Structure 1
């Protein structure tokens, strides 16, 4: 993959992600572009989520909104994990209050055989990235975003969000040939969508596995890890890579072997403990995280205490050699009812570290 991307090694996030010492503590927040911002709600009035993801001017504006408001060190591409499926021709919609819903669940070999694979550039997204890069300053990175194959497979097999992923796990174990054929197709689609973003000039990328935390470590290694590793390998040496999953404390070791330079950690595991689990499996990595999003509701004193604690945990891990850097983030995403002023203040406190 090649592209005329920016050269911004001094941008705090890129410096931290590549093992250098950043000029300030880099911070960005998952879901920083979203319902917590009044400007986002205004921009999305009457426009469906997926429609917004395919409108270059709108996705660019939404991506840049939190950078303008909060002074975060990176923009995260406004997208959804099912965007590449939609672009490939899969019948999928995002239903308010529920999430991604498929027109038909994928449960049989015939369903998998008929599942379309993305085979072209997603030009609307590429155009939007170009608009974003024109606005961002050299110190502000643009993080691309793709969903991991397991999470996409779960949506396809279950037909939508699931509380227990029973059908997904059943297919994985009872019909492994169908499972791996499905993962193969999804992986090819994700790689093609990632290529669109890389060729358009993203500075970094995050592979996000929403539902991997429902798996055992053994199942993750056997049925999921090879495909996530393949996706990450396609941009090895091209841009820094972040890997994150929700409730994946017990999977940090195998996830870290997928190849990303940066490992995201949710709020359930202290960063110094997470660093040790990662280090024992794959050596020192850059850590990302891991403030509990609920702490943004608790007032400035609590935020300051929690931010300080996380900073000390990361510093301890870097001092003892189990981590090679730290990018501050939440342990998941900004919650919809979060006061945007609390987010801005949190960023200020983090930059004062």
Structure 2
């Protein structure tokens, strides 16, 4: 069972229940403890990415940044939640695909799934024991945080696409060939991943995370009919399997396009991309928490531009008991710390 909430700041969790009437908009940012921070870059200069993820003490340090000067990001910026430092691809890595992160290329699998015959390599009923570093990391983090901790996983379609493509792809052509030419094999892969993802998220919940977020980053490569057939049934299966006391947030770069379909699988919240009109989304889905959707590109602009866009979003959702301020995607590594501070100050007004 998840740990009892021992922290005082519960605005984030209240918003996920549509019960935040404190007058304070809860705020956290995707990749908030990432490469834009000098503390992160200092750690990264000494360790590979996978070493950081798989070493609980280091992953805890990155998540919480427990240093004296400056204070940790959660306190520096007064975020209302932290998110586990990890990656959506640690699950396929544990299945033997050999994940590395290469400069200017990003994630690369040494042993991708080249044909449906490769499915036998990953087909198993239980999580590989090599993922035991995840609960150990969460337990360390929970001892340091005074805000809720968010766990996460990649949604089956997005994870499958990385496994087939061998890394990041602009067009997912290899994945689409599987979908068209080997539909049963692709669905089998999705079943394997959805079952293991349920176990993976439950592992995080048992270790103490207070909410989880599902990232279906590349769902925008699907048509509406493909989304209904190849992504959403597996997302719904995962959401239904998670115990009701732990909220599930769904994120995709295509959330604004597929909002009507996504709300049908009943996540507790949807994190929207930059294309969504949040006020209109609230009208269409009064019973779901709404998270988003500041454009992270604007954080590379002037303070005036940052404040203007933050005010626009806040004004559109002011007083909404189920609104969580976030980005439409993750922070860019080039983002100045002062830009993040300006954004937060404006939201806090």
1:153-172 correspondence runs (5 A): 153-172=160-179
1:229-248 correspondence runs (5 A): 229-248=236-255
Counterpart in the other structure of 2:276? 269
Matched, 1:220 2:219: no
Counterpart in the other structure of 2:92? 85
Taking the aligned partners of 2:293 and 2:94, their CA distance within structure 1 comes to 32
Matched, 1:294 2:294: no
Deviation at 1:90, TM superposition (A): 2.8
Deviates more, 1:108-117 or 1:181-190: 108-117
Counterpart in the other structure of 1:182? 189
Taking the aligned partners of 1:257 and 1:327, their CA distance within structure 2 comes to 20
Deviation at 1:142, TM superposition (A): 0.5
Counterpart in the other structure of 1:119? 127
Taking the aligned partners of 1:297 and 1:291, their CA distance within structure 2 comes to 12
Contact 2:239 2:267 in 1 (8 A): yes
Counterpart in the other structure of 2:53? 53
Matched, 1:134 2:143: yes
Contact 1:10 1:22 in 2 (8 A): no
Deviation at 1:48, TM superposition (A): 1.4
Contact 1:86 1:92 in 2 (8 A): yes
Deviations 1:131-169 (A, max 9, x none): 1111111xx110101111111110111121111111212
Matched, 1:350 2:321: no
Counterpart in the other structure of 1:284? 287
Unaligned runs of 5+ in 1: 319-323
Deviations 1:288-326 (A, max 9, x none): 00111122222222222211111122249x5xxxxx610
The CA RMSD measured in Å over matched residues stands at: 1.9
Taking the aligned partners of 2:220 and 2:281, their CA distance within structure 1 comes to 15
SS at match of 1:250: coil
Contact 1:172 1:179 in 2 (8 A): yes
Counterpart in the other structure of 1:321? none
Count of residues in correspondence between the two structures: 339
Taking the aligned partners of 1:327 and 1:53, their CA distance within structure 2 comes to 27
Deviations 1:258-281 (A, max 9, x none): 2211111111222123334x52xx
TM-score (norm 1): 0.90
Counterpart in the other structure of 1:304? 307
Deviation at 1:33, TM superposition (A): 1.2
TM-score (norm 2): 0.91
Contact 2:165 2:175 in 1 (8 A): yes
Taking the aligned partners of 2:221 and 2:232, their CA distance within structure 1 comes to 14
Taking the aligned partners of 1:186 and 1:9, their CA distance within structure 2 comes to 36
Deviation at 1:120, TM superposition (A): 4.5
Distance change >3 Å, CA 96–CA 68, structure 1 → 2: farther
Contact 2:56 2:134 in 1 (8 A): yes
Taking the aligned partners of 2:208 and 2:21, their CA distance within structure 1 comes to 22
Contact 1:90 1:116 in 2 (8 A): no
Contact 2:113 2:119 in 1 (8 A): yes
- Structure 1 runs of 4+ aligned residues shifted over 4 Å read 7-10
Deviations 1:23-77 (A, max 9, x none): 3210000011111000000112131112211111111111113213211111011
Taking the aligned partners of 2:97 and 2:32, their CA distance within structure 1 comes to 27
